[in-house]
Every structure is written in structure tokens, then in C-alpha cells.
Structure 1
Amino acid sequence: MTPAPEPADPRPDLTVAAFRRVAGRFATGITVVTTVADGRDHAMTMNAFTSVSLDPLLVLFCVEKIARFHDTVLAQPTWAVSILGEHSEAASSWFATRGRPLEAGLDGWKIHRGPRTGAPILDEAIGALECRTHAVHDAGDHTIVVGEVLAATTPAEAGPLIYFNGTYRTLREPA
């Protein structure tokens, strides 16, 4: 009996560059996730964020395992999410900068403390959630962190800051 031929690679044209190009076509909002560890504030920009469940109230974000923020946020039971508005490109860029000085924390950014977690929330955020880690899942080179929502507020009013095709965008209402 002749053995069956080996199946062809089902993804011969798939490359990381092709995947990134296509994934970049999915418009996302932008958040800054924050926590406090050993009395120091920590923050990182995340666009891999979504709501998960209404019962219980759950959200998730994905953090790259090699990011300095990864181990810090996993070690803390609580954290906050600041959803960025259309005037927050500078905050998004700063908290996404690899190798930025950690000792500065959130110096220079207007924040207030979440009453449920004590985590910093950016005053310019158009939405904020305080969360307690509910579950953590391995996902390749990232970790998925699922959080139970403890509080939800809308600190500022503005349209959303969006990331699409490698560029910041905003929504404009028709004139």
C-alpha cells in the first residue's frame, strides 16, 4: 500500500509581515494599563484590550512577555485601564516607548487614584476601569490577563483615539 502524500503546508505565503499588515487593518482603541508595585506607579500602552463578559463583568488585555510591565502587572492583584481619547496621542506614545525611564513612573501626567484599587488613572482618559486579576492565560509570546471590573468611570469627554494601519486616527462627526 502506498502511503498518503504529505499534506501541503496550509499557509505557505503566511509571514509575520503579512500577518501584521492584515492585523493592522483592524482598527483598535488605545488604553494605558497601570498598577502600583512597591509604592511605584507602572504603566504601559495596550491596544490589545477588549470586554469579555457582562456576568461577571470581565475585560482582558494582552501583554508581551518580554515587556518590563509583564512581570510587574502579573505580580499585582489589581490594576486600572485608562481608555484614551483623541487628544491623548502623546500619552499613548510615551507609555509605549521601550526602555523609557521607570523611575519617572507617571511623573508629568495628570492622574488620580482609583478609589477601589489605588491604581493611577489618567485624568485625560475618556473611560476608566479598575480591575482585579481574574485569570491569566499563556498565549505564545504574550500573556492574556483577564480582569474582573470593580469600578467604571468616565473622567473626560472626547472622541476615541484609534490605531489603524500603523497610524493614530480619530473619529470625526460629519459636518
Structure 2
Amino acid sequence: MTGLAPTSLRHTMAHFATGVTVVTTLEDGHDHAMTANSLTSVSLDPPLVLVCVAKDTGWHEAVTQSGVWGISILPAASRPAASWLSTGGRPLHGQLSRVAHHRGELGVALLDDALGTLECRTSAQHDAGDHTIVVGEVVASRADAHRGDPLIYYRSQYTSTR
């Protein structure tokens, strides 16, 4: 164990700009969604991506059970959705009722205004401290270059490129 305080790491990492996504899964007929900025492309052949998920979330438990998930890469205009889906304690039922979405090939919810979407089947999970690294094989990928600027997370705030 190091002597580094978690707040120190959080403060430093806040200076690393990332894109913002909404990650969804469907388990027992219920949509689970969370805002995430930990999306990483892992491999093109086979097509793999990863997200890092806090172990103490309902999304973690749901994706472990379902094994399928979707990623919606958010435009700047989706800031309200990102804020809502990062709010702790929101109700499970109906959490996507205020966000326009549709079902992908795997049945997971994908946001209608996304810059791009990915649908994944979990291929591996790796323990990583208070998070789990969830690796997924991408089975469907779509992008829409005409949707505008991306939503960015920088210095613990949502922003855009403008």
C-alpha cells in the first residue's frame, strides 16, 4: 500500500481530459445505466474495448449477470443525460425514461443522440482495487459524424471543445 491519498490521485487525473459515455446493460428486464469516462479501445482484432466500473454499483452487479452492454459516446448536448446518469441514488426503474434511446442488436439501450455506439459481450473481467476492468468484444459499432462536438470531462466538470 502506498502513502498516496486518493484525493491526490483524483486531483491529478482531473487534468486528463476524457470523452464521456453512457454505458448500459439489461438484466432481468431492467435497464441499468451509468455515466463513464473510462472507455478504452483495447484491440482491433479481435475488436475489444474496456470500461472500469466501481464494484459497489448496481451496474457492476447487473453487467456481471447479463454479460452484454452498450456504450453511447455523448455529444456536448447530452450533458443533462450525463449528469442524471451519474447521480447516485437515482431509482433503478425508469432511469432512462428521461433519455431518448432505442434498443441495439443485443437488446441494450443506446442513446438516440450519441456520436457513436458500441455493443459488447463481456469477454473478461479483471479485479483492479475498488473497480473491475470489464473487457468486451464489440459485436456492433455505429458512428454519426454529423451529431456535433463531443462532451468532455476535464477538471471534474463537463465541457466541450468550444
TM-score (norm 2): 0.94
Cα distance in structure 2, aligned partners of 1:23 and 1:59 = 21
Structure 2: gaps spanning 5 or more residues: none
2:52 corresponds to 1:76: no
Q: How does 1:147-158 map to 2 (within 5 A)?
A: 147-155=136-144, 157-158=147-148
| Greater Rg by CA | 1
State the match for 1:127 in structure 2: 116
Q: Secondary structure at the match of 1:88?
A: helix
Instruction: Tell me, yes or no, if the aligned pair for 1:112 and 1:121 is still in contact at 8 Å.
Output: yes
* Runs (4+) off by over 6 Å: none
Cα distance in structure 2, aligned partners of 1:68 and 1:42 = 8
State the match for 2:16 in structure 1: 26
Cα distance in structure 1, aligned partners of 2:96 and 2:85 = 9
State the match for 2:129 in structure 1: 140
Cα distance in structure 2, aligned partners of 1:41 and 1:139 = 25
Give the letter aligned to residue 96 of structure 1.
S
TM-score (norm 1): 0.87
How far apart are residue 169 of structure 1 and its match?
A: 1.2
Instruction: Tell me, yes or no, if the aligned pair for 1:40 and 1:105 is still in contact at 8 Å.
Output: no
Sequence identity of aligned pairs in percent? 51
Cα distance in structure 2, aligned partners of 1:46 and 1:69 = 11
How far apart are residue 86 of structure 1 and its match?
A: 0.7
How far apart are residue 133 of structure 1 and its match?
A: 0.4
How far apart are residue 74 of structure 1 and its match?
A: 1.1
Alpha carbons of structure 1 residues 17 and 55: separation in structure 2 relative to 1, 3 Å: same
Cα distance in structure 1, aligned partners of 2:7 and 2:67 = 35
Cα distance in structure 1, aligned partners of 2:85 and 2:64 = 18
Cα distance in structure 1, aligned partners of 2:107 and 2:6 = 39
Question: How many residues are paired up?
Answer: 161
How far apart are residue 150 of structure 1 and its match?
A: 0.4
* Alignment deviations for residues 67-119 of structure 1 (CA, whole Å, 9 cap, x no partner): 1111011111211000111111111111111110111131121111102x010
* Alignment deviations for residues 106-153 of structure 1 (CA, whole Å, 9 cap, x no partner): 1121111102x0101000111100000010000000000000000111
2:91 corresponds to 1:64: no
Cα distance in structure 2, aligned partners of 1:78 and 1:56 = 17
Q: What's the C-alpha RMSD, in Å, of the aligned pairs? A: 1.5
Cα distance in structure 2, aligned partners of 1:120 and 1:16 = 33
